[in-house]
Chain A
């Protein structure tokens, strides 16, 4: 049916009305996501990690040479609390958050039956999928932002926000450091958008949001595991998560873009492939819930 919609080639006012209406639906969608207790609790969990890191570092003796590079730098500058928290949470907590939201998108609505009433409003299936995907990416972006901002606030309060010494030894000012952190946040959000696309597709396959959430978490965790096996080096450039840790390249001098550029391309590839799969599946699907 979506094919017919496209071929109907709507006039310009009709198209702009569709855009305005989609923004209204997106706002409603975001309100539901933000209003859900589980999501509010999830945000608290995400925010607690940088707090725990900062407090732990504050009250423990400095030790050299263990953990990610910036853990040892964290006590010198609050920005590094953000980076440390991001590098820890990108492994599990942030993918888990995306998985939980993705499970709600289609599977969750199918599960409680609201999907059939949305579709008979009517919401065109393609439009619904697009709005769901955008809300998912915005949710992921918000999650990353919460971790980064909490890290800056708590890290700044405990360790100050003076000039930042980069991994390569040179120093940058606060504004530059915040800009680089924003770059890292956007880059990680793009990576999570790839996972969101996988999640959207899985969500169209089932009516069980918890099942979808587990499946998505399994996929992201499996990619991390494969990425850690040296014998699978040939496979790793194709793994979405392989490039995620490259966000810290934003804190090199000069910024090292090569890995991030590849990471963005791979994430884009995942988005194109899995959003297409989700579309093919969802527009053909019988809604029997």
Chain B
């Protein structure tokens, strides 16, 4: 299963924690040059997947290929080309932002010590943190910490960036900056995998989406492919929803649900004209009727479940 066109490929990737499958047989395909939005609610397995991609956690089953090399075998060759942000920032609290980056740079055996200073400054500049570079990390605000973590991922030029919830804790201004940063990195030819539990945060910048639910990949592809995989919804506004529901079921519509204002159902190829005619013919007072393709947001909610249930 070698896809030369993919920056990241996984086959049947699985991670068991005890008996629980945190990641359950997923086949990721992240093409080169893509901005891949890796979406899923809390606890769906995004971070665990990312940890496996980076060799922090050993997969229980399945295969991983990153930038053409198998993981974990090729880690030492691949990781220098990968910038990453995993589950939020983590730095030494009593060192300044700059000293923390210098520490990471010192750990990098491919980094040239003589350019360390300029590279660190450039990375800090890029996330607008140069002004606070000498402050202790402990005194950083949440957003500043997040920015420092992004700067750390940009210390050397990267071919792939794996960013786990990069906008977490950022103000709207910072969120916009991260979006334009991602755009400029893509412009430089990098592939980007960005995880989030908020579709709205990534949908403007992503070319591809992968949607995770309870460790399983429930949708993947370009944004349009994912969107076209969704079903249209017919919505009837009426004062007598029960009667309307009976008529719709009689027509063979699926997923008929009664709402506060009427009925909703999936037409699945039944002509809208036939539906309206049948309703009127059955004497149901129709106040309004519409067939809509759901927004990406609705699709995301329908794929991942609604409300505050944390999938375990």
8 Å CB contacts to B: which residues of A111-143? 112-114, 116-124, 127
Chain A CB within 8 A of B86 CB: yes
- Contact of A120 with B113 at beta-carbon distance under 8 Å, contacts A24-B106, A25-B107 already known: no
Residues of B within 8 A of A112 (CB): 90-93
Assembled-state Cα–Cα distance A25/B108 (Å): 8
B256 at the binding interface (Cβ < 8 Å): no
A287 at interface, CB cutoff 8 A: yes
Residue interface bits B83-97, CB-to-A below 8 A is 1, else 0: 010111111111100
With A122-B75, A287-B57 known as contacts, the answer to whether A114 contacts B107 (CB < 8 A) is: no
Q: Complex formed: what's the CA distance from A17 to B55 in Å?
A: 23
Q: Decide if B90 touches A113 in the complex (CB within 8 Å).
A: yes
Instruction: With both chains docked as a complex, state the minimum distance between the C-beta of B246 and any C-beta of chain A, in angstroms.
Output: 53
Shortest distance in angstroms between A32's beta carbon and chain B's nearest beta carbon?
7
- What is the chain A residue whose CB lies nearest that of B74? A4
Is residue A64 within 8 Å, beta carbon to beta carbon, of the partner chain?
Answer: no
Whether the Cβ atoms of A1 and B107 lie closer than 8 Å is no
- Residues on B with C-beta less than 8 A from A1 are 55, 72-73, 75-76
Knowing A1-B75, A4-B73, A121-B107 touch, does A286 contact B94 (C-beta < 8 A)? no
Q: State A118–B152 Cα separation when bound (angstroms).
A: 11
- B94 and A36 contacting across the interface, CB-CB below 8 Å: yes
Size bin of chain B's contact surface: 35 or more
Q: Does A35 count as interface, using CB distance less than 8 angstroms? A: yes
Cross-interface CB contact of A21 among B74, B82, B109, cutoff 8 Å: B109
Q: Which residues of B contact A113 (CB under 8 A)?
A: 87-90
Residue A276 lies at the interface, judged by CB distance under 8 Å to chain B:
no
The distance in angstroms between the C-alpha atoms of A1 and B89, with both chains bound, is 25
| Chain B CB within 10 A, most for which of A1, A37, A119, A120 | A120
Cross-chain contact of A118 among B87, B93, B107 (Cβ < 8 A): B107
Question: Chain B residues with Cβ under 8 A from A116's Cβ?
Answer: 51, 54, 56, 86-87, 90
Asked if B106 and A35 sit within 8 Å, CB to CB, the answer is no
In the complex, B178 has a CB within 8 A of chain A? no
From residue 1 to 60 of chain A, which have CB atoms closer than 8 A to chain B?
Answer: 1, 4-5, 17-18, 21-22, 24-25, 27-28, 32, 35-37
**Are B113 and A32 closer than 8 Å at their CB atoms?**
no
How many positions in chain A have a CB within 8 Å of any CB in the partner chain? Answer: 32
B79 adjacent to A5 (CB under 8 Å) = no
Which of chain B's residues have a CB closer than 8 A to the CB of A123?
107-109
Docked pose: A112 CA to B74 CA in angstroms: 27
Q: How far is the CB of A138 from chain B (nearest CB, A)?
A: 16
Task: Give the docked Cα–Cα distance between A121 and B155 (Å).
Answer: 10
A231: CB under 8 A from chain B?
no
In Å, the complex CA distance between A22 and B109 comes to 7
Complex A-B: 28 CB contacts under 8 Å: A1-B72, A1-B75, A1-B76, A4-B72, A21-B108, A22-B109, A24-B106, A25-B106, A25-B107, A25-B109, A36-B94, A37-B94, A112-B92, A112-B93, A113-B90, A116-B86, A117-B84, A117-B91, A117-B149, A118-B107, A120-B79, A121-B80, A121-B104, A121-B108, A122-B108, A286-B51, A286-B58, A287-B51
Known contacts A116-B54, A122-B80, then 11 further A-B pairs from the complex at CB < 8 Å, ordered by chain A residue: A1-B76, A5-B76, A21-B109, A112-B92, A113-B88, A117-B152, A120-B86, A122-B79, A122-B108, A287-B57, A288-B51
Binding site for A on B (CB under 8 A): 51, 54-58, 72-76, 79-80, 82, 84, 86-95, 102-104, 106-109, 113, 149, 152
Which A residues form the contact surface with B (CB < 8 A)?
1, 4-5, 17-18, 21-22, 24-25, 27-28, 32, 35-37, 112-114, 116-124, 127, 284, 286-288
